[in-house]
Structure 1
């Protein structure tokens, strides 16, 4: 394996207006090596990656290709040089087919006509390499998030990249899909490709990368072989503080704590059938299970986001049936979506508009009280530690972690007594995770009741007082206390009986 530098950042600085977000950053990528770039949300990782790929120019310093300074006028210049980037935000044309996306702008021709047979054959080959069983004719708009990510990866593979840059490639992937991706990364590395990726899953970083660069507040704080760092050391370097106590202590739910939500035989057509459970005041109830088990759809049905039916649902001892999310919100139940970019926030608007949109009635009936909105934003920034260069930043330009904290602040402005949070820490760093976990536990301690849907096994074990595991649209079992273990959750997810399965209520 050669160790020659292929692509590098040399003393790069980057400013957006008066705000400098990268400070004298150096980063070197080698052929046949996997390099991890990690840091908190907002540390500058995505900006550094975009400069490497030609999406953005540096303010000062330079990009070096094969040891020589190079200027990329656009992403096409970067791709022409063999540099391909897989974005954290999907870069696909939603109304085109999978095949059209993979060859968009690089269509194969036979004379003056498109060579559709060749593109169809190659599309199937690229999808097969990532074990993605979707039709080349499928519209991207109809795919799941994980399928879209696999199409992005297949699209990148089609370009025979010298350098492959991946921004949070596994954030929406299942464990099986992640294993497939890792095999492809290993094969590309062995073939001489230089690979740069970022991930908030430090076990992935430790398992996959040869070298690591850690950024904090726009600066490189560590660079060296991955093998020389433990996961705890990585986390501490990322956030500048000890995060070994990631999950707050569980005080336990009092046996006499009142039941605030009772659900009997809730069904969501096509996704969940006859699901029953209770939720107590002060409890954090985890919902586990494989992706596709019906977890999200069930809770969307409960919150009025999907058509649903039930024998009985009672909230604070009152029968309810929510046809719209607004009905649930007024009754004291709010749902925080797993998809903050498409369904949770308006990415082209500012923080103030996003924060208050669902509660404009609190800020005036005819004319909106802008001063009151600004005061609410000031309070939210302080309470949720939302970090942005300026108050009027477009939300789409904020880091994922700060977007998630803004979304949480938006939901909490409704003052819910029951909060459903779906994948609360997807795609965010360990420091922000610690903040969100602490906030949820403080809410529970103050008497709120919380349901957490998550694909993260450590999150279920570390955060939840009780766990319900779903399989094929039904509850396969419940776990509480010391019985909440990885083995028990996996067994229930696969349809096997756990050694102990406490009562669900």
Structure 2
């Protein structure tokens, strides 16, 4: 087997404005390996994948594939013949058959007509060659997540690429499907295919990978054989050498009081299963997990954005209707969604309208809104959240990112909620705004509000009285305040540091 690296990236730099996404990053992947690339969110993994697949041109540095300079960005066929990426979100077109997906825009024709028999024969031969047991006649919508991934891998190999990037391939798979995927990868590896494996679950790295590279803060930190790297050292490389111990804040939990939130046996496949926990008045509970853990979907279910298939949610003395946002609001749930731009506010509406959107029933009879009441409440919330604006009539789109997030938080707090559900509440804001927003959350808890923070950002979780860790849709452990960064990261990544 050749010893020329399949991928060799040296000193790669990529900036987006003031943000440095890659800072002189390196990566070397040898032929026949399954090489893991790991790191916390924002470490630079996705940007590197974009560079390695020809979707982004680096500002500095070099990238070579099989010892040769990479093609020009416009040469898509040149890129496809060298490297392919199977993303967490499938690119298979559900309304087409398996055969059509495999040879999309590459169908053999005669006289302007597709030779369907030849297409299906070629598709069957391709799947047989790469050991994919799927009927080429089937509509792609009927395939399981696992089968779609196998088809995407086979399609990538059909272009001639023998280097495949697997981006969070197990995020939507159950245990048995993960085992089958790993078996398939191992078989393809024996046939000369090289893989770059990106995962938030470090235990999978130890199960399938030969070598691991760690990125942190946009930089290459470590590359080592997996068999020679203790799990504790891998986690330490991801979080930084100095373990940070979280200082416990003065808890506002009202012990002995009836829980504000009671969740029992909540299930919504494939996102989460049989989840049960309580939150007391004044308690701040963190729902910690990787991006694919199911924590976000669980938090959205509590806010009425998703409808669980079984289980119960009780807020105070009320049981909101599953999958019903107005019912959740009426029960006393305040909510800050994951993406403020798409879920958090209406950009061209005023700050006043956005701030009071969740309490319209308090502002006038029926469908009518008393503008004076609205503006007074909005003014109170603008002052409370220190939103920098000349007045409540300004469109939210005119605000900075930090002030937009303050408006989203203001709306969540406007109704004096019993329960505050927050998903990555400080995403995309500066340090001062982050501290301010978390301070307002602490104030709400001190007043008796129960708080749930779903996040994989450790700074968000430092506020919590305890953490509930979610892995593959299940609550796997509870961690009290006073934790160390590496302890939480290991739990979220599914690694037992004592093993």
State the TM bucket, normalised to the shorter chain: 0.5 to 0.7
TM-score by length of 2: 0.62
| C-alpha separation in 2, matches of 1:16 and 1:224 | 30
> Offset of 1:164 from its aligned partner?
0.9
Q: Which residue of 2 aligns with 1:224?
A: 224
1:461 paired residue among 466, 469, 477: 477
| C-alpha separation in 1, matches of 2:212 and 2:313 | 50
> Offset of 1:125 from its aligned partner?
7.2
> Offset of 1:148 from its aligned partner?
5.4
Q: Which residue of 2 aligns with 1:468?
A: none
| C-alpha separation in 1, matches of 2:310 and 2:221 | 54
Q: Which residue of 2 aligns with 1:136?
A: 138
Q: CA RMSD in A?
A: 5.7
The answer to whether structure 1 residue 303 and structure 2 residue 319 are counterparts is: no
Indicate conservation of the 8 Å contact 1:14/1:20, yes or no. yes
Q: Which residue of 1 aligns with 2:197?
A: 197
When residues 276 and 49 of structure 1 are mapped into structure 2, their CA distance, relative to the original with a 3 A threshold, is closer
> Offset of 1:335 from its aligned partner?
6.9
| Equivalent runs, 1:322-361 vs 2, <5 Å | 324-333=324-333, 346=341, 359=355, 361=357
- Number of residues of Structure 1 aligned to a counterpart in Structure 2: 417
Q: Deviations over 1:50-78 (max 9, x none)?
A: 22222222222322233232333247244
Where does structure 1 lack aligned partners over 5 or more consecutive residues?
392-404, 445-449, 466-485, 487-505
Q: Any idea what SS the aligned residue of 1:223 has?
A: strand
| C-alpha separation in 2, matches of 1:300 and 1:196 | 34
TM-score by length of 1: 0.62
| C-alpha separation in 2, matches of 1:221 and 1:279 | 39
When residues 61 and 349 of structure 1 are mapped into structure 2, their CA distance, relative to the original with a 3 A threshold, is farther
When residues 227 and 267 of structure 1 are mapped into structure 2, their CA distance, relative to the original with a 3 A threshold, is closer
| C-alpha separation in 2, matches of 1:156 and 1:267 | 35
| C-alpha separation in 1, matches of 2:230 and 2:77 | 38
Indicate conservation of the 8 Å contact 1:54/1:78, yes or no. no
| C-alpha separation in 2, matches of 1:173 and 1:208 | 16
Q: Any idea what SS the aligned residue of 1:238 has?
A: helix
> Offset of 1:120 from its aligned partner?
4.4
> Offset of 1:42 from its aligned partner?
1.5
Q: Which residue of 1 aligns with 2:25?
A: 25
> Offset of 1:39 from its aligned partner?
1.8
Q: Which residue of 1 aligns with 2:485?
A: none
| C-alpha separation in 1, matches of 2:82 and 2:451 | 47
Q: Deviations over 1:243-289 (max 9, x none)?
A: 6989999x9x9883313346899999xx99xx9997654496999xx
Q: Which residue of 1 aligns with 2:486?
A: none
Where does structure 2 lack aligned partners over 5 or more consecutive residues?
358-377, 383-390, 409-423, 482-493, 495-499
Moved more, 102-111 or 42-51: 102-111
Indicate conservation of the 8 Å contact 1:35/1:211, yes or no. yes
When residues 349 and 10 of structure 1 are mapped into structure 2, their CA distance, relative to the original with a 3 A threshold, is farther
When residues 286 and 18 of structure 1 are mapped into structure 2, their CA distance, relative to the original with a 3 A threshold, is closer
Q: Deviations over 1:395-424 (max 9, x none)?
A: xxxxxxxxxx9xx99xx79x7956677xx5
Indicate conservation of the 8 Å contact 1:454/1:460, yes or no. yes
When residues 228 and 333 of structure 1 are mapped into structure 2, their CA distance, relative to the original with a 3 A threshold, is same
Q: Which residue of 2 aligns with 1:474?
A: none
Higher CA-based Rg: 2
Indicate conservation of the 8 Å contact 1:248/1:437, yes or no. no
Indicate conservation of the 8 Å contact 1:166/1:198, yes or no. yes
